[in-house]
Every structure is written in C-alpha cells, then in structure tokens.
Amino acid sequence: MSNSTGQRKNSFSTGWQCPSNIALVKYWGKHGNQLPNNPSVSFTLSEAATRTFVTWEEDLNTDSPGLSFLFDGKENRAFESRIRKFLDAMSVEHFPFLKFGHLSIETSNSFPHSSGIASSASAMSALSMALCDLELMISGKSVSDVLFHRKASVISRLGSGSACRSVYPVAAIWGQFAEVPGSSDEWATGLESGVHKVFHTFHDDILIISPEEKSVSSSAGHGLMENNPYAPARYVQARAHTGKLLTALREGDLKAFGKITEDEALTLHALMMCSDPSYILMKEGSLSVINLVRRFRSDTDIPLYFTLDAGPNVHLLYPEEFEEPVGQFISSELRPLCHEGRIIRDRVGPGPQKIA
Ligand code: DP6
C-alpha cells in the first residue's frame, strides 16, 4: 500500500498550522480528565501560530509509540517528554495506530518561545489536527468536517484545555451551554456564523510586558480554584457572562463586548490574588497599560479594550477601522511600557490550515 503522496510503503505524512486563541470568557478551574468548571469563549488568532509536520511509519515489531521530536530543528528534551506522555495516553483510547509505528514530529512557532505568549494552545491543537488527519489516512476512511474538528478538539483538550478552542475559525465556545446546540464540556464548538462581521477583522495587539516564564503555571492555577472561597460565585458569573457575550458577539455590541471582556480579565487575576497561596502575575506595566487604555477610551470614545491571559502581557482588542488612532496611541504611550518595545500584532483569524 502506498499513500496519495507516493511515499514509501506504510508511511504517511501531514502538516498543520494552528493558531493560538485568546479567551474572552476565561476557563479557570477544571475537574476529571481536563473538563472545565465553566464554559469559556475565545477569539481564534492568526499570527501567533504553531506549524507541525508529522510522519508515521509502521513498525510491527513494537507495541509502544516510537518518537523523534524536533522543535525549531533542534532536540528539546522538556517538550519531547511532555509530547511522549501525551502520545502514550492517546495511543490507548484514541489512536491505537501510534503503538505500531514510529512518529517523527517537527514543530516550530511563529513567535519566539521567550516572547511570553502561551504556546500550548497552538502547539497541542496543531499536533491534534495532524494526528486526526494521520488516523484517516491510515484507515482510508473519511468523516464529516464537523466530526473531524470535534475529534481534533477533544484530543487538543486532553493536551491542554484551552487548545480545544483553537481548531475553529474566528471564535469558539468550550463547555456545555444550552443556547449553543452541540456544545459540550468535552469539545469546543465553532461560533463563526454567530459572530457579527465587525469581530471577524478584530485586532489583538499583544503587548509583551515581560517575556519571563510565569511563576505559577496555569495547571497549578486551575488546581488552586478547588479551595478558592470565591469559586462557586465565579462559575455562576462565567455562565452569565457567556450568555451576555454570545449576544454581544452576535449583535456586534462593542460596549457590552468590552465590558464583559475586561471584567473577565480582572476576575481571572483577582482569583489568583485570593488563592491560597496567593499570587500575582500582573506587573506594574500591566496595570499602567490598563489605566492608560481606560483613559484613552474615555477621552476618544474609541472602542479599545484589554484582556489578559494568565500572565502579565496585555492583549488590546479593537475593530479594524480604528487601526490608525490606536496604532498612534500604542506607539506613543504603550510601547515604552513593553519589554524591549515588543508587541505582537495579531488579529482574529481563519483557524487551522493544512500545510503539507
Ligand atoms: C487563563 O489551557 O493552559 O488562558 O488545561 O492545564 O493546559 P491546562 O490549562 P490552560 O489554561 C488556560 C487558562 C487561561 C484562560 C483560557 O484560555 O480560557
């Protein structure tokens, strides 16, 4: 048997590029096998992305997944051991073919690893898309686009929760939510058709306040929600925000969008501050940016809003039509607050692309 690209017997290759995503309603707190304690909603980005090429070669003399792994063309023991653990787990229930062959993975990010932006969402979703694609190539079967993305989303989630939202264009919701048919805690659902056109070209300029590794990982942060006294109220709030945000996204209501998005970012960081042990991931520069953004908005009436991930960097969200005045404001007042003046200019994007 040879595959469609004419490679040698029982060897299959594919490549996928997947973007990062920025949560608007935050996933913070989980249970069971990577199941979220509340629904979350995100924009899919485009510039911050991972490119992953995989080749699987059958080897019937083994019963455990073989792996070669290169990151940016070089060996990387830390990433490799995380991927090896993930593949071992995936070979049991989801991809038995992994047990009977050798997988070569070559992966790279469009942004420097030290840029301080999370790479696990783009990395795990790119690998998951590639694995789902390989599975179909090997079995010779085909599935609907909806099922393909759904499985890729499940696999991404098992690698890193937020990654499950990166497999769709424009925007996605993860978590069972009555208003969204087909939504589930196990996979994300694409929201593209329910999002007003003003958001399809939204900008997300990521201000790099600090490129340092964060002092408390997201996984540890999720764990601290278990004993956080505000957790029950937070999960109620997240559901209410999800409903309101879906309406704002559908109607193109920028004010409601901005209010919910900023409330979510500040709630996330407030939850960290009142965890036990307490911790703070914002830096002085993050707060300065937030205050300046709010002042700019009240002075100009331009709908410029901020959000933050679990880190100090600030994402600036605004409609395409305000690119020029926002750009001038960033250059004059915000760039000096960024580490080495670093900014990643990103925007809402078309989701995963097959690149090989
Ligand atoms: C603050 O997806 O990185 O970015 O499931 O443990 O890998 P794990 O956590 P991760 O958490 C992301 C948290 C967040 C909010 C979000 O993206 O929704």
Please report, for residues 35, 128, 154, 166, the alpha-carbon distance to residue 160 in angstroms, rounded to integers and kept in the order given: 10, 11, 10, 11
State the virtual CA torsion across 36, 85, 279, 37 in degrees, nearest 10.
10
Q: Is the dihedral of CA 201, 342, 117, 103 positive or negative?
A: positive
pLDDT along the chain (356 residues), means of 10: 52 97 98 98 96 95 88 94 96 95 95 70 97 97 97 98 98 98 98 97 96 88 98 98 98 98 98 97 98 98 97 97 98 97 96 98
Say how many Å lie between the first and final Cα of the chain, rounded.
20
Rounded Cα distance between 324 and 317, Å, is 14
Q: Would you say the CB of residue 311 lies under 6 angstroms from ligand 1?
A: no
pLDDT score for 65: 82
Complete DSSP assignment for 119-188: -HHHHHHHHHHHHHHHHHHHHT----HHHHHHHHHHHHHHH-GGGGGTTSSSEEEES--TTSTT--SSSE
Peptide bond into 112 cis (omega under 30): no
Strand locations in 277-323, DSSP E?
305-308, 314-318
Rounded Cα distance between 242 and 256, Å, is 12
Q: What is the CA radius of gyration of the chain?
A: 20
User: How many other CB atoms sit within 10 Å of the CB of residue 178?
Assistant: 8
Cα-to-centroid distance, 319 and ligand 1 (Å): 25
User: How many other CB atoms sit within 10 Å of the CB of residue 354?
Assistant: 11
Residues 6+ apart with CB under 8 A from 155: 90, 94, 128, 131, 132
Residue of 22, 25, 27 with the most ligand 1 atoms within 8 Å of its CB, for mutation: 27
The tokens for 343 are 């900014």
Amino acid (one-letter) located at 341: G
Helical (H) or strand (E) element with 11 = strand 11-25
pLDDT score for 23: 98
pLDDT score for 116: 61
pLDDT score for 7: 46
Cα-to-centroid distance, 102 and ligand 1 (Å): 30
Rounded Cα distance between 355 and 32, Å, is 34
Amino acid (one-letter) located at 208: I
Q: Do 85 and 96 meet the contact criterion of CB atoms below 8 Å apart?
A: no
Mind listing the domains of the chain with CATH numbers? 11-195 (3.30.230.10), 199-347 (3.30.70.890)
The tokens for 97 are 């073919």
Q: Would you say the CB of residue 159 lies under 6 angstroms from ligand 1?
A: no
Q: Would you say the CB of residue 36 lies under 6 angstroms from ligand 1?
A: no
Pick from 144, 131, 151: nearest CA to 13? 131
Q: Would you say the CB of residue 286 lies under 6 angstroms from ligand 1?
A: no
